[in-house]
Chain A
């Protein structure tokens, strides 16, 4: 896993770590470096969060820096706005994707536009961590992919890591940002391991840079978050069919890296957007439109989308039919008008 430019040289102390650990380390380092950073949310203190991402932080930094709040998402984000007005940098945890909805009014009406409505006087350096997505067998209301709601709100950054190293680097960048960042954490990647160094973690380029995870020549898979491993697996499987697929991990959905995406599509001439949230009016629709507008003369086929169905998130026993998997990605690759090539 590299950065946008060159893969960082491996430090000697690398050992297997989970994404949850890397996220925790990011908050820990941010808390240690900047006394204005505050972590707050439901169960983030004593318990360490229901996913244990904040485990140990309250013990290390005390309950005033890592705070168990009352159970009220609008209140959590609304008070974070006031804290940011006073100069603090709140890092808010929403317990689950679907439980962030009560905070939507604060997010849309204040967090996203406070800087703008005050002509820069009141920036909102708030990070809103949201565990999101399915594939963990979660019962109703525990598996939503809500990125499109956030993306349709000017003033927010929307970021989602797919690797352990990015989890650290992107979260540090999000906390350091003077703008509000919705930080979407793919639940089903929390426990995925990779070699990583907590002592010398890789930094990432500024928010808004995509990365080519796998170079290829036949077609580009444009994806992010929990669908990145799916696409990498599909790219491996596609080799047997004679396709050499490039995989672009967006990392940041807003700002959107038109440059990296379009450079890749111009090289390969074909593109598929893959995500697990609903397709209709989804991220893929925007990306397909952008790619078509910018790369039309390089395209050998229409930009396709592989997305979740336009249904409420299904029961766990049916979710594998809903989530875009390797086969569905490969079926889409096959539809990319290869005749005559």
Chain B
């Protein structure tokens, strides 16, 4: 015969009392595991929402950036690098710079680590006449865009050229002409013309821009240098300002002057800049919104935590007291039993173990019930659906272990005094009879 038989049968005999005890433990553990699960669910949901916001923002930013790139491509470049001595008045008056830079400068930029600029286009630009046709033109000699070596995402596999250049190199023996020239001279792509005594094929006629571009003739840099007698020289480096910085000019100037000491940087095309700024603002706005959301959800989390830190001890204390009185009542009910067991020669420690084991068993079963109910309620309240995989993920063994431990400690504490009292009852008082 083992004490366990007494515990088991007594529980069956006094089901209601045991049931109330179970309910107490379940409520205590339920509010513990429920609060923890709710907090976890809240945090998981926060992360989910934020991840989604971030994704949306990123997509929006990418869209804006693509827009921006498109505009850039349409408008061409928005930054000019000129010689430091170049007068802006003279530039405006002549329509082209009258100071020159070594061609090597552009390669220095391309090899240097510049972040604020991209799509470097070295040009030798000069106003001249087309002698055979007696026409004023702006001659534009360029070797095509010079890659920025570290901006690999813009480069072809071999890193030698841009993936999508704004201006490709002009093929040998060909020229590109502005819309006004083409109209004036009645030229089409494929026509052959003579320019400064050399034959060229019209490679392309550029679309009408309503600007000086319409009277530009684009040719290879070598050709222009030869004609203008400017071997190894250029007078403008066009570039595209990166979309990453609002204070573009300052940063660009700083970066460039570190590599090229005797140049100045000019910005033009304010529409592009406005777009860039709008994009920056949109991004900042989105970041602010996300930050606000984080703060808001963190506040809710804090409130939940505060609530839980008040609720859990109160519920634990109340349940502990209730369990204490239940077990005390149970001891009183079982006085006759205690008396006869002592008379039979059962040791005090066995009496203690009978009451304490029952309390611990109650804690164990109550903890499992409370854990299941608490986690389920916490997960549902925290926004997980009953049939989500997420819902089941909240049932973790660590929390079960904590629940069991807390319940066992609670029941051991609540059961200890009544069990000791039971063991120390004087059997003579019970057995003497009325």
- A is bound by B: no
Q: B: which residues have CB within 8 A of A?
A: none
Q: A: which residues have CB within 8 A of B?
A: none
